[in-house]
């Protein structure tokens, strides 16, 4: 009994969970450390270290295939997220505000993209596009990405909405604001942290999506994950990919940091 | 009576019944339209296609029978479904066992002001390209890779995990562990620590407290995390494709082959997709049933 009480209060450094978690952190970062180290390795072989070099970064920046794919991915993600920001926010607001028949079904439908496996969404979308004879292109990837991006934005904004006092909007209406003014000036600023973090999440997921893009991409509409996958599959793995992954990790870490900052700033307000 | 009623009264007067109906419609229609057109109708398309056997025009169950095809003493496709299920279950078990102490530390033991930032740091690898993370594991696991170099250095013989089940499962555990920790953290964060102290005061030892007080409080979180990880790992495409070999193909690879492969059979691929969706729906149904009930009894 005394033991139990003392073990709850024993110093953090002496607890086995602390060391276990430390090892778990090492495990999570091991692959990333490996990619980073070998991105600076002179030898293209990942089995030995021959010396430090920046040349793989220079080579990546001069690789037209990878750069074009990066540009395609950024355009797809940017377009899909912009549309989803509006649609997802409207959905979250509408679901919080109105009661209507079949509301449960509507809400369930917004969760479907998060539940149905990517591979099933991918083949269904492919079959559908073929049936309506829509030629595959970058645009078809955007259409497919909006489906899951709007679901993520809607879920994140909904959870933010749950913490907002609905009386604020009512007060604005009472004080003579039109419904649009009340939404734009009172609700939107409150929702903004939720919208921003939902969009950042959707952006990262869209940039990272391989399976859906692989099925819905037309000839020449190669996104970054598709380009990475084909170079991994053909065995033509070069340390340029290491350099690219380090750059992507830095970019993602910055986006994640921004998202967290926005979230905690939102919670404080 | 309440403030709500007072506030809504003038609005009701201004808005005609028609506008009242129009506003929610305008707000909810765009997403609804998008989801119905580009998700629900396509899913109905493959549902219908799954009943159209290859080379025929009339409906039939041939594609579903193909799932049970028996060739050379083997259920060639059922084996793949079973393998996907097995990988998903092993991955889920490892994620719960490995993830729980981490989530516990992050949610309860870590200094309060550091918790969110440490959690963010733990799940940060999720924000990096999943393909490149699997690629990093190739670098680690390959015969001349880092793991074997290290094993040789300490005098052990090398092991090859690549292109077989072990490699796929290592990759899957790595991919899904952050999700598990995220869900468990949310659940453990709400753990009532006073109950633990009360249990200790009443004479329970650490083991009894853990199994009889802590675990029942977070069981809905464990169920939710296990459901999430098993669904996503069951349909994983990237890890089996990059870290596995021909003997460790999973259902997602087989579906891909039916649509983009050489001997494509879209009807059969659609049937397999429906099997996948059905399996996932069962897990979700169980989650709603048991996840919720626990939450209710927790409250």
Q: Which of residues 124-163 of A touch B (CB under 8 A)?
A: 124-128, 131, 143-144, 146-147, 150-151, 154
Looking at per-residue pLDDT, the higher value among B30 and A159 belongs to: B30
Q: How confident is the model at residue A22 (pLDDT cuts 50, 70, 90)?
A: very high
Sequence spans of domains, chain B: 3-49, 72-298
Q: The dihedral of CA B200, B204, B205, B206: what is its sign?
A: negative
Q: Which of A25, A232, A260 sits opposite B131 (nearest CB)?
A: A232
Q: How far is B79 from chain A (nearest CA, A)?
A: 19
Domain at B72-298: CATH architecture? Orthogonal Bundle (1.10)
Q: Which of B117, B124, B200 sits opposite A4 (nearest CB)?
A: B200
- CA dist list (Å): B47 to A62, A192, B272, B274: 46, 39, 10, 7
What pTM was computed for the model? 0.86
For CATH 1.10.3720.10, list the domain ranges present in chain A: 59-268
A69 membership: H or E segment, kind and range: helix A64-97
Tell me how far apart the alpha carbons of residues B98 and B241 are, in angstroms, rounded to a whole number. 24
Place of tokens 């939450």: B295
Which range among A115-129, A153-167, B275-289 has the greatest average pLDDT? Answer: A115-129
Q: Do A147 and B139 touch (CB under 8 A)?
A: no
pLDDT at residue A267 greater than cutoff 80: no
pLDDT of residue A8: 52
pLDDT of residue A256: 76
Among left, alpha and beta (phi > 0; psi -120 to 50; other), residue A220 is left
Is-contact A255 B124, C-beta < 8 A? no
Kindly state whether A247 is in contact with chain B, defined as any CB-CB distance less than 8 angstroms.
no
Q: What's the whole-number mean pLDDT along residues A111-132?
A: 94
B150-175 burial code (b ≥16 CB/10 A, e <16): eeeeeeeeeeebbbebbbbbbbbbbb
Low-confidence ranges of chain B (pLDDT < 70): 1-19, 291-299
Q: Which of A25-39, A126-140, A223-237 has the lowest mean pLDDT?
A: A223-237
- Please report the ipTM that was assigned to this predicted complex: 0.87
Place of tokens 């830095």: A250
Other Cβ atoms within 10 Å of A227 Cβ, number: 22
pLDDT of residue B297: 37
pLDDT of residue B164: 87
pLDDT of residue B45: 94
pLDDT of residue A10: 66
- The per-residue pLDDT for range A181-219, each reduced to its tens digit, is 888 888 888 888 889 888 988 998 999 999 999 999 988
Q: How far is B157 from chain A (nearest CA, A)?
A: 17
- The per-residue pLDDT for range B85-115, each reduced to its tens digit, is 999 999 999 999 999 999 999 998 888 888 8
Percent of chain A at pLDDT > 70 equals: 92
Which is nearest to B294 in space by CA: B194, B191, B210, B224?
B224
Q: Do A47 and B145 touch (CB under 8 A)?
A: yes
What secondary structure letter does DSSP report for A52?
Answer: B
Tell me how far apart the alpha carbons of residues B10 and A183 are, in angstroms, rounded to a whole number. 17
* Fold annotation for A59-268: MetI-like fold (1.10.3720)
């Amino acid at each position: 009994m005394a033991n139990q009480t003392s073990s709850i209060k024993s110093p953090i450094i002496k607890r086995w969970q602390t060391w276990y978690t430390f090892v778990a952190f090492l495990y999570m970062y091991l692959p990333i450390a490996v990619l980073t180290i070998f991105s600076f390795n002179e030898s293209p072989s990942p089995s030995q270290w021959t010396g430090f070099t920046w040349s793989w970064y220079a080579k990546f920046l001069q690789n037209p295939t990878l750069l074009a794919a990066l540009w395609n991915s950024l355009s797809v993600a940017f377009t899909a997220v912009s549309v989803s920001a509006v649609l997802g926010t409207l959905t979250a607001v509408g679901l919080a505000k109105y009661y209507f028949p079949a509301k449960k079904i509507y809400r369930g439908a917004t969760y479907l993209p998060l539940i149905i496996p990517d591979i099933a969404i991918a083949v269904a979308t492919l079959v559908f596009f073929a049936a309506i004879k829509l030629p595959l292109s970058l645009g078809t990837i955007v259409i497919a990405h909006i489906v899951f991006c709007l679901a993520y934005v809607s879920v994140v904004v909904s959870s933010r909405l749950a913490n907002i006092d609905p009386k604020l909007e009512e007060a604005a209406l009472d004080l003579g604001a039109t419904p649009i003014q009340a939404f734009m000036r009172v609700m939107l600023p409150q929702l903004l942290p939720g919208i921003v973090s939902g969009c950042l999440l959707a952006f990262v997921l869209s940039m990272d999506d391989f399976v859906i893009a692989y099925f819905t991409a037309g000839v020449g509409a190669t996104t970054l994950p598709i380009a990475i996958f084909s170079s991994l599959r053909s065995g033509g793995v070069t340390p340029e990919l290491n350099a690219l992954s380090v750059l992507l990790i830095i970019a993602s870490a910055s986006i994640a940091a921004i998202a967290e900052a926005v979230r905690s700033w939102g919670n404080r307000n | 009576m309440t403030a709500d009623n007072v506030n809504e009264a003038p609005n009701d007067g201004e808005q005609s019944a028609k506008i009242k109906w129009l506003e929610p419609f305008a707000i909810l229609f765009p997403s609804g339209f998008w989801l119905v057109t580009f998700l629900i109708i396509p899913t109905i398309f493959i549902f219908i296609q799954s009943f159209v056997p290859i080379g025929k025009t009339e409906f039939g169950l041939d594609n579903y029978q193909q799932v049970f095809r028996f060739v050379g003493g083997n259920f060639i496709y059922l084996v793949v479904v079973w393998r996907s299920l097995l990988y998903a279950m092993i991955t889920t078990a490892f994620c719960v066992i490995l993830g729980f102490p981490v989530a516990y530390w992050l949610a309860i033991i870590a200094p309060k002001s550091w918790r969110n930032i440490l959690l963010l740091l733990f799940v940060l690898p999720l924000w990096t390209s999943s393909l490149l993370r699997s690629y990093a594991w190739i670098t680690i696991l390959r015969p001349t890779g880092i793991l074997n170099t290290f094993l040789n250095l300490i005098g052990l013989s090398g092991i090859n995990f690549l292109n077989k089940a072990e490699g796929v499962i290592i990759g899957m555990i790595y991919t899904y562990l952050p999700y598990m920790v995220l869900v468990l953290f949310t659940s453990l964060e709400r753990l009532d620590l006073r109950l633990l102290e009360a249990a200790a005061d009443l004479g329970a030892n650490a083991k009894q407290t853990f199994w009889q007080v802590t675990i029942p409080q977070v069981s809905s979180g464990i169920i939710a995390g296990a459901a999430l990880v098993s669904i996503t790992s069951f349909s994983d495409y990237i890890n089996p494709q990059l870290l596995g070999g021909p003997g460790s193909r999973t259902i997602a690879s087989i579906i891909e082959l039916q649509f983009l492969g050489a001997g494509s059979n879209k009807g059969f691929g659609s049937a397999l997709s429906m099997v996948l969706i059905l399996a996932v729906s069962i897990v979700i149904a169980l989650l709603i049933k048991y996840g919720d009930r626990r939450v209710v009894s927790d409250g």
